[in-house]
Amino acid sequence: MRSVPLRSTFGMLLLLGALVVFGAPSQGDGSGLLVPDAAPRPVAPADPAPVLAALDAATEALFERAHAGVVHIRTTAVAHNPFTRQATEYLAGEGTGFVWDEQGHVVTNYHVIRGARRAFVQLAGEDESRPARLVGFDDRHDIAVLAIEPPEGGLTPLPLGSSADLRVGQHVFAIGNPFGYDQTLTSGVISALDRVITSVAGNPIHGVIQTDAAINRGNSGGPLLDTSGRVIGMNTMIFSPTGTSLGIGFAVPVDTIDRVVPTILRTGQGPRASLGISAASDSWARRHGVEGVVVVEVAPGGPAAVAGVEPVSVDEHGAVRLGDVVVGLGGRPVRSRADLASELAGRTPGEVVDLEVLRDGRPLTLRVRLGSGE
């Protein structure tokens, strides 16, 4: 027979005793502890620090001013039953948008409405959604514009700020519809500036704002606001292996939005940045041992001409002189015409970028203000 140490036996007896003494009370136990005149405790007066009180008041006022300009977007798609040949429309996705003007234009991310059969916009304070029509989109910057019928009381366009003078550490606010919970306010700071993310079209979006304000699925297309309640960006993407917020969110800068949206309203598509050059084919460049984009022609008065880009030339003796070879744009390498097109696709007209060229084999950097290729 196995022996058991005395200290273990004693410990088991203590444990059994504890279970007996402190077991679950039977009904009616504690009747002598009741307080017949028990009542709710009074609410203690608030006495916040003046700075915190002012911050609370400012945040509440910001939400009251801005939330009417934020909308809830739902999209539908159609599924076809291969056996019955019946088509069923179903809820495909949700997102956020913000009112652009009083005429009924709403701005959101392109990926919110991409592939949708129909889109519906629900205004703040309304129970029913309004059908929306697609005006146009720019998949290179993940921006789309919808149109709705304005209500009798009118719309509340959100004021725009600028993203050119933002600073890391500034307080920001996001209003959106994460996971379908509409009119949700979150706050944080600008964590970083000038990030680069990839659009749904596979092109880089430059100048992106990084924030730790909580952004989740459903926030896409919603405004990122400064402390004055002005739109400084559009919440677009998060970095998250789990699909939920980890405090790394990205917003397309408002300066980009304010250049793209008017062009969408005029033409149905976004503006296309241009250098104003014609280039030799990649095969020609490779045959002549050149890696980069060979500038053949420069449009008179165009961005490249103003910056001093030199094209291929022929002297009086008929000798061909190789002009500038583009090898970089905005700090990113350019090895082919496709590289250059991809970099330009991620830019908008009016941006000033560094154009890196080789001239007579020597590197040279030129500052170029991009033009429009509309």
Residues annotated as part of the active site: 111, 142, 220
Distance, in Å, from the CA atom of 360 to the CA atom of 197, rounded to the nearest integer, reads 34
| Residue 154, H or E segment | none
Contacts with 166 (C-beta within 8 Å, 6 or more apart), sequence order = 190, 193, 209, 232
Closest CA to 108 of 72, 55, 80: 72
Q: What is the DSSP string of 45-64?
A: PP---HHHHHHHHHHHHHHH
The token duo for 150 is: 């304005």
Strand partners for 329: 332, 355
At CB < 8 A and 24+ separation, what contacts does 91-95 make? 92/116, 92/117, 94/177, 94/180, 94/217, 94/218, 95/177, 95/218, 95/219, 95/220, 95/221, 95/222
Residue with tokens 């009798």: 152
Alpha helix segments (H runs only) across the chain: 6-21, 50-66, 110-113, 254-267, 282-287, 303-307, 337-345
357 φ/ψ angles, rounded to the nearest 5 degrees = -130, 160
Closest CA to 122 of 212, 182, 32: 182
- CB 243 within 8 Å of CB 215: no
Distances (CA, A) of 65 to 34, 158, 229, 230: 50, 9, 7, 10
